[in-house]
Amino acid sequence: MNRSTRSNDRYGRSGGSRSAGSGGGSRSGGRNGGSGGRFRSQGPRRPKAAAPQGEFALPVTITPALPAAETFGELDMPAPLLTTLTRLGVTEPFPIQAATLPNSLAGRDVLGRGRTGSGKTLAFGLALLARTAGQRAEPRQPLALVLVPTRELAQQVTDALTPYAQALHLRLATVVGGMSIGRQAGALRNGAEVVVATPGRLKDLIERRDCRLDEVRITVLDEADQMADMGFMPQVTELLNQVRADGQRLLFSATLDRNVDKLVRRFLNDPVVHSVDPSAGAVTTMEHHILHVQGTDKHATTVEIAARDGRVIMFLDTKHAVDRLTKDLLASGVRASALHGGKSQPQRNRTLAQFKSGQVTALVATNVAARGIHVDNLDLVVNVDPPTDHKDYLHRGGRTARAGESGSVVTLVLPNQRREITRLMATAGITPQITQVRSGDAELTRITGAQAPSGIPVTIAAPVADRPKRSSSSSSSRGRRSRPAQARRAGNGDRSSAPRNGDRSSAPRRNAASS
């Protein structure tokens, strides 16, 4: 029986609650063998009350949660995982990891909220891998699933979990739009215990009969609020209806609102609820600045900030505005590159790699870069166009001050935007420092490191390996397709139903505990 058919009443449905003990309830084969699924008793349950916490009333945990772990060593995880954590320098769990891992390892459903950079990926990833260890997936039938809203976050999750999966001899497959669907189908046919996927591409592969979810025993929803905001809810619901009804659900996000409440009510059973930070997630190591600027001076101010020593991410509302500012910055001597949903996935991956290596110092982006991107030592984020939603502000700002580092978020505000930004900051729970600035001001330099650009135009060249090869003009090559033409034709059928404008990416993190 599918979990969703039992009842949609999260706060008063029938069904047994699970033990929070080390066994996590009755389970066949345990973590390293057998079915790995959960079998709940059908005894009566007392009604669930709602706790006024966060952006909506979070459910109260009925079955007492296990106490938080002080070290990874005291957790019930396979030795190879502990060895890998030590090798990568991950010595102490972050708060969200310490609180949720004892319970998720025991088989409990988890509803976790923590600000970006708080360590959510390892919080769900270590439990998922530990409870899948020792099992082998049949072709096209994964055992564990991580659903994420964008391509870049899927890659980030894959990168963060790969060394731990390799230590346990588990196979990972990444399933996202914008890449070869044939290769992804091949990875599933070869067998993959863990699949990290965006909903649209996974749905495509299921419809092609290249994947089945009826053996998925652990399902993770990462950044669930964004999936709801992006219109993925029908796809997510359809996919959750296909996984094992007795499986485990782990839902993690930096923010939780009423859109996510529908998923909580329908698919989570007596979850352990943990919130690392208040919903607003204002980071104590982060400074928030509102810079009041005049319309005639905004562009010059933006260029001076971009010309600073050190990297910066600059957010704008539209793809057109991103491309225009990037062109202006390059002409002014700033090594800038654009990132938005209109770029191909290889272009986006290349841009991020150049930004992380320092070849590009100013990343100009839409909200496509607001989540899932980790860059070491990034100390400044600039909202050239202020966000319209407080969650967008928090996620944009979350690209800095990650894993305990410090950083600043600067928002350029025109006179006619001041009232709306005041309301947005209040909703986000942030009290910013407000300063009136003009280009060339000492205060602008003090806050952002702004300086005059060199004025010498620069060009950001693609790596040699990324440049298309010319086909030979000799008679022996006539009739053969050039490599770019083959790639274009191969890509014609590679479409995902996931919205393009929300997709994103990342690379492995320096501090793996922050994953």
| pLDDT value for 231 | 77
Is the pLDDT score of 325 beyond 50?
yes
CA distances from 104 to 307, 440, 469 (A): 46, 53, 50
Is the pLDDT score of 294 beyond 70?
yes
For the chain, what is the radius of gyration of the CA atoms? 24
| pLDDT value for 179 | 86
| pLDDT value for 57 | 59
| % the chain with pLDDT above 70 | 72
Is the pLDDT score of 112 beyond 50?
yes
Is the pLDDT score of 496 beyond 60?
no
> Which is more confident, 350 or 322?
322
Q: Could you tell me the pLDDT band of residue 248, with boundaries at 50, 70 and 90?
A: very high
| pLDDT value for 269 | 92
Mean pLDDT of the chain: 78
Span of 65-74, 147-156, 431-440 with lowest mean pLDDT: 147-156
Is the pLDDT score of 221 beyond 80?
yes
Domains of the chain and CATH, by start: 3-275 (3.40.50.300), 286-454 (3.40.50.300)
Q: Could you give the residue ranges of the DSSP H alpha helices within 196-292?
A: 199-207, 224-229, 233-240, 258-267
Report, as an integer, the average pLDDT of 209-215: 97
Q: Which helix (H) or strand (E) holds 298?
A: helix 298-306
Is the pLDDT score of 19 beyond 80?
no
DSSP 41-97: -----PPPPEE--TTS-EEPPSSPPPPPPSSGGGS---HHHHHHHHHTT--S--HHH
| pLDDT value for 130 | 98
Question: CA–CA separation, 149 vs 235, rounded Å?
Answer: 11
> 15 — phi, psi (to 5°)?
130, 155
Is the pLDDT score of 316 beyond 70?
yes
Report, as an integer, the average pLDDT of 205-209: 96
Span of 71-75, 422-426, 503-507 with lowest mean pLDDT: 503-507
Q: Could you tell me the pLDDT band of residue 42, with boundaries at 50, 70 and 90?
A: very low
| pLDDT value for 405 | 60
> Which is more confident, 179 or 206?
206
Is the pLDDT score of 18 beyond 90?
no
DSSP 221-244: EESHHHHHHTT-HHHHHHHHTTS-
| pLDDT value for 117 | 65
> 390 — phi, psi (to 5°)?
-65, -30
Residues pairing with 256 in the sheet: none
Report, as an integer, the average pLDDT of 101-120: 86
Q: Which helix (H) or strand (E) holds 286?
A: strand 286-292
Report, as an integer, the average pLDDT of 448-465: 83
58-59 and 50-51 beta bridge pairing: antiparallel
Most confident option among 42-56, 131-145, 329-343: 131-145
| pLDDT value for 280 | 40
Segment 464-476, tens digit of pLDDT: 444 444 444 443 4
Report, as an integer, the average pLDDT of 67-93: 94
Q: Could you tell me the pLDDT band of residue 103, with boundaries at 50, 70 and 90?
A: very high
- ∠ CA 293-297-303, nearest 5°, is 100
Is the pLDDT score of 495 beyond 70?
no
Segment 386-405, tens digit of pLDDT: 998 887 888 787 766 554 56
